[in-house]
Amino acid sequence: MKSLVIHAPRDLRIEDTPEETPGPGEVQVAIATGGICGSDLHYYQHGGIGTIRLKEPMILGHEVSGHITALGDGVSGLKLGQLVAVSPSRPCHACAYCHEGKLNHCLNMRFYGSAMPFPHIQGAFRQVLVADQAQCAPADGLSAGEAAMAEPLAVCLHGARQAGELLGKRVLVTGCGPIGLLCILAARRAGAAEIVATDLTDFTLKMAAENGADRVINSGKEPEALKEYEADKGTFDVLFECTGVAPALASGIAALRPRGTIVQLGLGGDMQVPVQAITAKELQLRGSFRFHEEFFTGVELMRKGLIDVKPLITQTLDLANAVAAFELAADRTQAMKAQIAFG
């Protein structure tokens, strides 16, 4: 089968890799669609994420969906030909954090396409994938592209849980890539009263406005626009920080009300944090990392039509044009979520 393997920065190859057969409790999935994530782009552009570096060739990808082609012994509730969204989260269920219910912090996590451990955890950008039954969320009624959006949606649903009560709250979202837009959708579904979004490109801001933001601000063209929200110690109750860039965090904190909540989703490496402002306003800074059960919740929300991710899928290229897909995915003047068709 064909797989998409990263060897070094901008050295992305389509290679033949062995096809696996499912064992007990496993299913074989013919991958239909894979979405290119920010972490995939970091591996492609830089050969790693912060201090995490490639030490061997690695199959990329963790946002995937496909059709079941074989069932292992003991599998029930799934059927041949069924479209499933495949969760990349594979906790061990045996470590201390798993026993505490903190599955996203598993000490032995096998998350597709991750160079954190060595040997690396090979990813899901391959024509055929063997997965645990527990990873597969039935996606009947969705397109393969929609089903492949379950992973980034789960990230944002987990972030929304970190934020706490959102009903009637005023929300600021900094960064309008896929995670920022999905945070907007999640916050709107949770009852946010007002959502303001910032970014640096008109394309992403236009998409934010079309997908639930009440106001959008180009912080490059209007660097002082958030100032009006700083009056009387601030306006917003919740900040979803989706850039991982220090100036965005600082501007968001300045616009937060006392005892507001910061949910940090953006991963841009270590950055300076305005601790004095956090202290003086009694703000809560909450990290948000990955997800677990939210994956299945996200699929159900999409299947019921309660969250619509279709407008976020801006391009789909075939596997033969994978390098072009990665280049396109990095261009925020024309791409929101670029996907690869494996079928």
Q: CATH assignment of 2-149+309-341? A: 3.90.180.10
CB 207 within 8 A of CB 182: no
Query: Which H/E stretch holds residue 161?
Result: helix 150-163
The closest alpha carbon to 246, from 215, 268, 222, belongs to 268
- The DSSP bridge pattern shows strands 63-71 and 26-35 to be antiparallel
Mention the CATH class of domain 155-287. alpha beta
Distance CA 160, CA 166 (A): 8
The closest alpha carbon to 141, from 341, 305, 31, 312, belongs to 305
Residues in the chain: 343
Burial class (CB in 10 A: 0-12, 13-18, 19+), 220: exposed
* Alpha-carbon distances of 158 from 37, 276, 295, rounded to whole Å: 17, 27, 9
Q: What is the pLDDT of residue 318?
A: 97
Sole residue written with tokens 């995939």: 40
What are the residue boundaries of the structural domains of the chain, listed by start?
Answer: 2-149+309-341, 155-287
Q: What is the pLDDT of residue 50?
A: 84
DSSP characters over 24-90: TTEEEEEEEEEEPPHHHHHHHHHSEETTEE--S-EE---EEEEEEEEE-TT--S--TT-EEEE----
Q: Which neighbouring-strand residues pair with 172? A: 196, 239
Residue ranges, the chain, pLDDT below 50: none
Burial class (CB in 10 A: 0-12, 13-18, 19+), 287: exposed
CB 90 within 8 A of CB 35: no
Query: Which H/E stretch holds residue 302?
Result: helix 294-303
Provide CB contacts within 8 A for 323, sequence distance 6+. Answer: 12
The closest alpha carbon to 286, from 230, 240, 235, 236, belongs to 240
> How many whole angstroms from its chain centre is CA 190?
18
The closest alpha carbon to 243, from 211, 220, 212, belongs to 220
b/e map 58-69, b = 16+ CB within 10 Å: bbbbbbbbbbbe
Distance CA 172, CA 194 (A): 8
Q: What is the pLDDT of residue 32?
A: 98
Q: What is the pLDDT of residue 226?
A: 96
